[in-house]
Structure 1
Amino acid sequence: MLSFVVCSVDAGKFAAFRRSLAACAGGDDVEVVGIHDARSLSAGWSAGLARAAGDVVVFCHDDIELLAPDLLLRATRHLERFDVVGVAGTDRCVGMDWSEAGIEHAWGAIVHDPGDAPVLCFYGAPGGVDAADGIQAMDGVFLATTRAVAHDVGFDATTFDGWHGYDADFTFRAHLAGYRLGVALDLPIAHRSAGSADETRLRYHLRFADKHAASLASGRGPWVDLRLPILVPDGVDAAFDRANLARLHARTRDEATRRREAAGQPYAAGRNAPCPCGSGLRYKECHGAAR
């Protein structure tokens, strides 16, 4: 059996997710463990794990649509190679946000579709394979693992008692424990939310940094925010085709190189201005630090 653990307080979203799952489950033995009163995602996922009957457990958001009819088969196949599988992440963890290390360490692709103009958000794709390995931290929109690994790693509902940091903490601790993490490139998912930041995000960012201070890498790299219009569902297969992903990969890496070179020029920006490399830091904190 395969178990999906989903925290949701929105009956409409939860019902839509179940319909999406049913469309790609076929005759597979699948259960949905809905947690509708979670105090936090860590607490909710812990409660869901305790109730899950499947040997394979998928933790995911309630506002996603699964865009491949055999997506569950693909996910379980990846678990023959990896201990935890996601759809976006980094091979260099420097903080709670997996994108912080820069685009050259980022992997995966996901469709963001709030309801009006869906876009393909691309991060990275190694050539000729259907998954990136060597991953250290991943996004919690979709995480597949085994029940044994999930129990062993667990969720820290004490430190991450809200809605941020739960995923980075779980996946980074899995990496530190020696488990193999992979970002799959053939699990197309539409996320019906673009995400949001609130005043509590910084609190959990600092908690993550404090908890993992001895293990985190340092320094940020250039970021390239590549978003392309996509037709859902008609354009999904073409978007996730390996040749297309390879083209997008080259595009982001070439742009990262260009931005790094531009930021490395003398007086590339005012000291308090954003660094031209796109890291999100001020110039004086990034490429202008030594000037």
Structure 2
Amino acid sequence: MSQVIISSATRLPAEKFWQESALGQSLRRLSFDDRLRASVAFENSQGLPTIYNRLIQEAPAGSLLVFVHDDVWLEDFFFPQRIAEGLQVFDAIGVAGNRRRVRNQPAWCFVNDRFIWDERSHLSGSVAHGAAPFGPVTCFGLAPAECELLDGVLLAAKRDVLVENGVTFDERFSFHFYDLDFCRSLRAKELRLGTWPIALTHQSGGSFGSPAWRAGREAYLRKWEAIVPS
């Protein structure tokens, strides 16, 4: 099976990341699997796209790339197998997503900037939340399912597919909207996105509505609604 490389960024120094962070502890637990390799930016102050693009540029041909937040507990000890299976079906996968996209959509799960949830019939995947691993699970809808948008908490793609199609993360979206933008870039190349069942717990529920989020939304809408109308 291809090597699976996990890319993440953290404000923590290396020792604290491995000892204290959800992702660091998860990777230590999964260290028995030599198909997994971690690429972590410690004490990071750069945007996530900068870190993720560095891996796309440096990763060996044939590798499978996983882009994940540092506050995620990876609870599936078949993790490399899940990633490989999902990427045999789709060009990029995530754990939650939306089968459709509507105009001026502010997140994969919302249909407007009042944070109204889309109908459950359009949503797919499951994510647990909580400060500790194995948190309460929110099931958005059945997975696997082909989607238009995926949640950026975890995204995975084949390195070769990204390189051959010239798809990278847009570095103007430091921490917000990089995931929606990435999905739009993939779909613009007619690549297929989908959810895949992978057990994880996310410690954060997001920061929708913050000033940084609103600035990211304005940049996202300027970029996409003028080019690819919904």
TM tier relative to shorter chain:
0.7 to 0.9
Give the letter aligned to residue 203 of structure 1: A
Structure 1 stretch displaced more, 200-209 or 16-25: 16-25
- TM-score of the two chains, using structure 2 as the length reference: 0.82
The alpha carbon displacement at 1:216 in A equals 4.5
Give the letter aligned to residue 169 of structure 2: F
1:186-265 alignment runs, 5 A limit: 186-197=197-208, 198-213=210-225, 214-217=227-230
Equivalent position of 2:192 in the other structure: 180
- Figure out how many residues of one structure are paired with residues of the other and give that number: 209
Give the letter aligned to residue 202 of structure 1: R
Q: Report 1 or 2 for greater relative contact order, CA contacts < 8 Å, sequence distance ≥ 6.
A: 2
The alpha carbon displacement at 1:58 in A equals 0.4
Between the aligned partners of 1:124 and 1:113, the Cα distance in structure 2 is 20
Taking only the aligned residue pairs, the percentage that are identical comes to: 25
Give the letter aligned to residue 26 of structure 1: F
Equivalent position of 1:122 in the other structure: 139
Equivalent position of 2:114 in the other structure: none
Equivalent position of 1:62 in the other structure: 70
Give the letter aligned to residue 99 of structure 2: D
Aligned partner of residue 99 in structure 1, secondary structure: coil
Structure 1 stretch displaced more, 162-171 or 99-108: 99-108
Between the aligned partners of 1:144 and 1:25, the Cα distance in structure 2 is 19
- Among residues 32, 38, 44, which one is paired with 1:26 in the alignment? 32
Bigger radius of gyration = 1
Is contact 1:33–1:52 with CA below 8 Å preserved after alignment? no
Equivalent position of 1:77 in the other structure: 85
Aligned partner of residue 37 in structure 2, secondary structure: strand
- Among residues 127, 131, 141, which one is paired with 1:110 in the alignment? 127
Structure 1 unmatched runs, 5+ = 218-291
Aligned partner of residue 50 in structure 1, secondary structure: helix
Q: CA RMSD in A?
A: 2.1
Between the aligned partners of 1:18 and 1:76, the Cα distance in structure 2 is 21
Between the aligned partners of 1:3 and 1:117, the Cα distance in structure 2 is 23
Structure 2 unmatched runs, 5+ = 112-117
Is contact 1:89–1:107 with CA below 8 Å preserved after alignment? yes
Q: After superposition, what is the alpha-carbon deviation per residue over 1:136-184, rounded to whole angstroms, capped at 9, x for unaligned?
A: 1111111111112333211111x31x21011110112101211111101
Q: After superposition, what is the alpha-carbon deviation per residue over 1:32-79, rounded to whole angstroms, capped at 9, x for unaligned?
A: 111233421111211232333361110110111111221220111111
- From the superposition, tell whether residues 216 and 24 of structure 1 become closer, same or farther in structure 2 (CA, over 3 Å): farther
Is contact 1:91–1:137 with CA below 8 Å preserved after alignment? yes
Aligned partner of residue 122 in structure 1, secondary structure: strand
